[in-house]
Amino acid sequence: MVNNVPAVMLLKTMVPGFGDPHKAWLLLAMASTLAGNLTITGSVANIIVVESAKPEVEIGFSDYVRAGAPITILTLLVGWAWVTWVG
């Protein structure tokens, strides 16, 4: 698994070669941001929130993924549709 910032750094050289580089940049930016919702380690903000919640509730990796997977899939699909038809 590659974190979102290194993934963008790796893919940035490919984007200008796509048929619609503007749309490709929008999709890459959206996907790299929203994919961080999938797991606790997907974003530093996720780690901070889970650590802050520890006095009240224990959130395990699988607990987070059960909530994060549908949210990630739904937001990526909505974002893809938005960029495809509006962007």
Residue 82 belongs to some domain of the structure: yes
- Domain for residue 38, yes or no? yes
Q: How many structural domains compose the chain?
A: 1
Residue 74, CA distances (Å) to 23, 53, 57 in order: 19, 25, 26
pLDDT in tens, 57-81: 999 999 999 999 999 999 999 998 9
Q: pLDDT by residue (tens digit) across 45-56?
A: 999 999 999 999
Q: What is the structure's pLDDT at 87? A: 64
Q: Which domain holds residue 51?
A: 28-87
Decide if 49 is inside a domain: yes
By the 8 A CB rule, do 47 and 41 touch?
Answer: yes
31, amino acid identity: A
pTM of the shown model: 0.72
Residue 21 domain flag: no
R_g (Cα) of the chain, nearest Å: 15
